[in-house]
Structure 1
């Protein structure tokens, strides 16, 4: 027996559903609280039945979201609600952490292009089972993120990929028996001049994921400070190193076939690393760690808030422009775009389009003095004969009236 109670009112989707399990229920397995990765639900066992304990659990889950929203709204007229709820959270957020998350993440977009590249120092491996690996570990994540953005995927392989000339290169550490990359070389590791990486062209940003296989003479290759084999490049993508000759690397066998083709088993951990990097690059919150569904819902609320703020700012600028230039024409398309507030994303894009409407922008640099200078030479030759004819008619009418008066 169990009962569920939504936190939000019945109209609309609840932000969090609390599921209370009866004593001895097999659903809790003795755990007092649990989050499911695919659910926006908090499962509570019989050990947490007091209102205060339940409130503490809910507060622990929702407080990071409150802090993030307060961070977005800080410095705006919406920073404080009617009840002052956001003001209270401003003293608790970690501004540095939120700044770092926003700095490394791409600008919100409706579409992202994911480019997965295999760069090999020598002539092998020359192929990889990237489709199988992506289907197993990346596709479920992209499906879950479908409500946030659309994703397109491309892959490529490049052999004889040399280190970037901008870095000193790895150094051998005799104590550990490993080649190590210095921290300051990580940002310049990608050889942009010779590696055919996908730039951000057209709609949507390109997120690059690079898998580098070093030559046997430079393997195992790790990061000096952490000993890891992967790192994030803010607003660009992620890099991972695969040391095939390292004993800890999972490999089915050492046959020539395995040497020329990376199997899905070789790529398991790599794709999981890329998936984790992707969540950071699109700005997905790291908490609550136990529920991907709640993290995605939090990201949707953050994006909606940011887009609404951007839309309000753009529409305000458009309104000020129209009031400043009363003679500027307002096409029907602009009126339609300004009213397209069905959702925050459409409103942001529509307002930007309305603000930069070509038929309006041209009028910004066309003051009234220019209108006089343009139209007077055109209307002058037409206006003078009309004025003279009108004066002649008035004089004739006046003379006629005088003659009529004299006769009477």
Structure 2
């Protein structure tokens, strides 16, 4: 009986608790209540707008109309301040003919370097209703230009419809084109030269990347870390299935290629470009140099119409862009003893790449607005207010992505019981929750840089937790397989132990009676 009791004690007191402890799924405590309370659609960004006019009535009327134009957009909280222009500044703005000099005058009176702050300033000598440059200043002519001014603020500067799409789970047209949020990107320029023996190309790809692409991304260093690379790819012959068309150009002909055929080129480039050398996303820029025998190549759209552009190029959403280098007839003239030399027009080609990069990173093209003028870019650097637009866009997009990852992870944990959450994953989830709350509060206060930085931290932490490989550790060993293994192991042992429990209990009940009888005797 003592042996039976020892077996029972060993299995029930030690064996079962030990088995239970060693087979339990380890999960740290997570803030499920906070995750379930997240509402992506509730996030908004506060931004400051200062209206300065020649008189109080004009300032009040313009401010009121702007406020009315944005009242239906909960994604943006316009904090409008109105005032009268100082007399000396008003006289300067009325006497200066050049708008750039007028912007400098405004910059001398007000701080234009602050992110998330825009100045709307009245300037009577304007030839248009509204003028917008590269700084955080918008000029308007008079109160009659208020409607045009509201359109400029809505469609060019703040873009509330794009911000709504950034915090939504449904991708809009701009979101389908731009790259997803991230800490950094690789920008790789590939110069594709299929027939180097027929044409010599004079191009320093490294200097071109540093001078043009580098100058552009330097202004976006507060958003992302960019790594610039360049490479040459030779003997990559691609069959465009182009059709020779006679024309009146200097060549006397051109080669027509259908637009839908061009994306097959990306597959060939992916096989040779070797750009997947890092976990960071890669922005691909490819200059495809056409051989003289197949130049010039002209793109035709789906309606079989020639794409009229100084440079023949196309862009692939979330991949990059391709520019076709068409040498001129004079560049292809050669004798039997020499190989022709071509120097690509770098400003035109790199300007096309910059335009593609702008759209891939989230800077949208500006549609024409009657009565409004946006100053053309005089350099490759983005406009100051475009950087603010990107900061607002990425802040909401990163918050939405972090919330989506946290909601999905919490749902998976509720549906699949044997997912392990170790201390490292738990720390990432808690950091994502805390950073999301802080980013939302900073955005509501109008602290744009702090909101962006914190939302990026939340996005990276949520992404790291959701993609953690340790979450998959026990998914191949579900509960039914666990019981299928342990029951055949424990059941044969438990049968004699359980059957002996009856005799053991009877023995334990009789033992005090026997001891009492012995004492009486």
TM-score by length of 1: 0.71
Question: Measured at CA, do residues 56 and 261 of structure 1 come closer, stay the same or move farther in structure 2, by a change above 3 Å?
Answer: closer
What corresponds to 2:162 in structure 1?
68
Figure out how many residues of one structure are paired with residues of the other and give that number. 366
Larger displacement relative to structure 2 (202-211 or 152-161):
152-161
Shift, 1:276, TM fit: 0.9
Q: Tell me how far apart the structure 2 counterparts of residues 353 and 143 of structure 1 sit (CA, whole Å).
A: 27
Alpha-carbon distance change, 118 to 323 in structure 1, aligned in 2, over 3 angstroms: closer
Residue 153 (structure 1) aligned with residue 228 (structure 2) = yes
Q: Tell me whether 1:355 sits opposite 2:466 in the alignment.
A: yes
Partner of 2:49: 7
For the pair 1:130 / 2:211, whether they are aligned, the reply is no
Structure 2, unaligned runs of 5 or more: 1-46, 51-77, 105-111, 125-139, 301-305, 332-336, 368-373, 376-381, 436-453
Q: Conserved in 2, the CA contact under 8 Å of 1:111 and 1:203?
A: no
Counterpart Cα distance in 2 of 1:381 and 1:375: 11
Closer, same or farther: CA 53–335 of 1 in aligned 2, 3 Å: farther
Q: Secondary structure at the match of 2:219?
A: helix
In terms of mean alpha carbon deviation, does 307-316 or 150-159 score higher? 150-159
Q: Distance in 2 between matches of 1:285 and 1:193?
A: 26
Secondary structure class of the residue paired with 2:189:
strand
Match of 1:300 among 379, 388, 391: 391
What secondary structure, in the 3-state scheme, does the structure 1 residue paired with 2:90 have?
A: coil
Deviations 1:171-225 (A, max 9, x none): 2423333414233343345681798323445412333322233333444444351
Kindly state the Cα deviation for residue 333 of structure 1 after the two structures are TM-superposed: 1.6
Question: SS state of the match for residue 274, structure 2?
Answer: coil
Equivalent-residue separation in structure 2 for 1:359 and 1:217 (angstroms): 56
SS in 2 for 1:179: strand
Please tell me whether residue 44 in structure 1 is matched to residue 121 in structure 2: yes
Relative distance call for 1:194 and 1:310 in structure 2 (3 A) is: closer
Identify the structure with bigger relative contact order (alpha carbons < 8 Å, sequence gap 6+). Answer: 2
Question: 2:314: which partner in 1?
Answer: 232
**2:391 matched to 1:315?**
no
Which residue in 2 is equivalent to 1:92?
A: none
Cα separation, 1, equivalents of 2:270 and 2:49: 54
For 1:395 and 1:351, the matched residues in 2 are separated by 59
Aligned to 1:29: 96
2:424 aligned partner:
333
Are 2:178 and 2:362, in contact at CA under 8 Å, matched by a contact in 1?
Answer: yes
Between the aligned partners of 1:27 and 1:188, the Cα distance in structure 2 is 56
Whole-angstrom distance in 2 between the partners of 1:368 and 1:194: 43
Aligned equivalent of 1:374, options 485, 502, 505: 485
SS, match of residue 340 in structure 1: helix
Once the two structures are TM-superposed, the CA of residue 107 in structure 1 deviates from its matched residue by 3.3
Cα contact 1:161–1:195 (8 A) shared by 2: no
Rounded to whole Å, the distance in 2 between the matches of 1:276 and 1:190 is 19
Could you say which residue in structure 1 is the equivalent of 2:177?
104
Rate the CA distance shift 1:374–1:310 in 2: closer, same or farther, 3 A. Answer: same
> What is the CA RMSD across the aligned residues, in angstroms?
4.3
Q: Is this contact kept in 2: 1:314–1:351, CA < 8 A?
A: yes
Q: Structure 2 vs 1, CA of residues 6 and 246 (structure 1 numbering), >3 Å: closer, same or farther?
A: farther
Deviation at 1:150, TM superposition (A): 2.3
1:57 matched to 2:153: no
Q: CA deviation at 1:271?
A: 1.0
Give the 3-state SS of the residue equivalent to 2:227 in structure 1: strand
Stretches of structure 1 lacking an aligned partner (at least 5 in a row): 9-13, 77-94, 250-255
Q: Aligned with 1:339: secondary structure?
A: helix
Contact kept, 8 Å, 2:167 with 2:399, in 1: the verdict is no
SS in 2 for 1:182: strand
Shift of 1:258: 11
CA distance in 2, matches of 1:189, 1:360: 38
The offset of 1:385, in angstroms, is: 7.0
The Cα shift of 1:137 comes to 2.0
| Distance of aligned partners of 1:317 and 1:393 in 2 relative to their CA distance in 1, 3 Å threshold | same
Hey, what's the Cα distance between the residues in 1 that align with 2:338 and 2:222? 40
